[in-house]
Amino acid sequence: MKKEQETTKGIKEIARLAKVSIGTVDRVINNRTGVSVKTKEKVLQIIAELDYQPNIMARMLASKKVIRIAALIPAVSNETGYWNAPLKGINEAASEIRNFGVSADFYFFDQNNKKTFRDQCAVILDNGYDGILLAPMFEEEAMDFLDNCAKRDLPFVLINSDLEHQPRVAYIGPDLFQSGYLAGHLTKYLVKEAQQVLIVNISREITFQHHLLKKEEGFRACLAAHDLSIEVGKVDINETSYDAVQQRLLELFDLNKPDLVFVTNSRVSSVARFLQENAIEGVQLIGYDFLEENIAYLKNGTIDFLICQKPQEQGYRGLMSLYQHLISAPTVEQLQYMPIDIITKENYLYYRN
C-alpha cells in the first residue's frame, strides 16, 4: 500500500505554484468574478495537475455558513402513522450531520388538503433555503413548486413518489409497478388454479389513485404473464372509515368469497379487521406498510404478507443525498429505488425501516 504524495497540497501550494495569492486561488476555485482569464487558466491547470480536493471541514469552518435544508412531508395523521418513518429517517440523518454544519427544518402538510401543501411551499420559498427534500404528493402543485425551485437554482430531492421529468438531484423511493408485480408473484404461491383474487383500492383522494393504479397494473401484469387461470376481481372504496370498508366488503363477500385479497396500500388493516370481526376464514391477505395496526394482524395470522419499502431509509438517504450534493461531493445516485421487502410474521421483528 503506497501512500499518496500527501505533501501539503492545499490552496497555499496552488498559490505558490501559480505565483498568485491565495485570495485569487480562492476566487477561481469558487468560481467568483474578478479574475483575468489568463490567471484563471493557469490556476485551473495547476489545480488539475495537483488533483486538488478542497478541504470541506476548513471551508465550512471559515465560511461560518450553515447549510439549511427544508423537508416538506405529510403530517402524521391519526389515520395513518406512515409518515413517522420518513420523519424519523430524516431526523436520524440530520443528527448525524448536525456537527458538520447542516440544519434541517420540517414543514408538514395535510394529505387531504392541497392548500396546506401550497401554503408550505410558499413559506419555504420565502425562507431562503439551500436545498429542499420533499414528497411531491400533489402532482400539479409540486410541479409548480419545483419549477420555482429550479428558477432559483434550488436543488431538491424527491422521496416516496417520483416526478420523472423534474430536474431532481435524486429520487428515493419505490418502483410501484414492480412492487405490485411482486405481490402478484406471492399470489401465485398462495393461490391454486381456478381460485379467486380480489384487488382492493382504499383511498379518499383521487390524487393517490396514480400510486395505487401503478401497483394494480404490476399485480395484474404478473398474473397475466404466467397465464394462470385465476379470476381477478377489483373494488375501489372511496371512503376510508372502517364502517364504509366493511359495508362494501360485506356486499362483495356475500356474492362471492375470494381466496386472496390484495390491498394496494397500508389500509390493509381495515380489511384484516373486517375478516377477523366477521370470522371469515380461509382468505389470504397481502397489503402494504410496516405499521403498528398492520403488524398486529400479521402477528395473529390475519395478514399473510406485508410489502414495505423502507420509508425510514427513504428519509435518511434523502437528506444525506441532498447534503452530499450541497457540499459538492463527487456523485449522488439519481435514481435510488428502494428494495421491495416482504414482511411476514417471522421476520417483522427484524425489519428496519
Does residue number 61 form part of the binding site for its own copies (CB under 8 A)? yes
Closest to DNA by CB, 38 or 151:
38
**Rounded least distance, CB 319 to DNA, Å:** 23
The residues with which 158 forms a beta bridge, in sequence order, are 134, 171
User: Interface mask (CB under 8 A) for its own copies, residues 204-223, using x and -?
Assistant: ------------------x-
Find how far residue 261's CA is from the centre of its chain.
26
Residue 181 exposure: Cα atoms within 13 Å on the Cβ side: 11
**Closest approach of DNA to the CB of residue 33, in Å:** 7
Shortest Å distance, C-beta 342 to its own copies: 5
Q: Cβ distance 70 to 124 under 8 Å?
A: yes
Contact 334, 299 (CB under 8 A): no
Helices (H), the chain: 11-18, 22-29, 37-50, 56-63, 84-97, 114-126, 139-151, 176-190, 209-225, 242-255, 268-277, 292-299, 311-326
With CB under 8 A as the contact rule, the residue among 68, 84, 91, 96 that binds its own copies is: 96
Per CB under 8 A, 112 contacts its own copies: no
- Would you count residue 314 as binding its own copies (CB under 8 A)? no
CB nearer DNA, residue 56 or residue 123: 56
| CA distance linking residue 80 with residue 102, whole number of Å | 30
Q: Could you tell me the smallest distance in angstroms from the CB atom of residue 53 to DNA? A: 7
- Is 321 in contact with 170 (CB distance < 8 Å)? yes
The nearest distance, CB 60 to DNA, in angstroms, is: 8
- Distance, CA of 163 to CA of 138 (rounded, Å): 10
281: three-class secondary structure by DSSP: coil
Separation between Cα atoms, residue 36 and residue 123, nearest integer Å: 40
Exactly one of 17, 60, 76, 143 binds its own copies (CB under 8 A); that residue is 60
Residues near DNA, by CB under 7 A: 8, 10-12, 19-24, 26-27, 29-30, 33-40, 52, 54-55, 58-59, 61-65
10 contact, one of DNA, its own copies, none, CB 5-8 Å limit per kind: DNA
* Residue 9: all three cell numbers together: 497540497
Q: Kindly state the smallest distance separating residue 160's Cβ from its own copies, in Å.
A: 16
- Choose, by CB under 8 A, the member of 75, 194, 329, 335 that binds its own copies: 329
Give the residue with the Cβ less far from DNA, 22 or 125.
22
273/297 Cα distance (integer angstroms): 8
* Least Å from the CB of residue 171 to DNA: 29
Residues at the contact surface with its own copies, assessed by CB under 8 A: 1, 53, 55-58, 60-61, 95-96, 99-101, 105, 175, 178, 181-182, 184-186, 189-190, 222, 324, 327, 329-330, 337-342, 344-347, 349-352
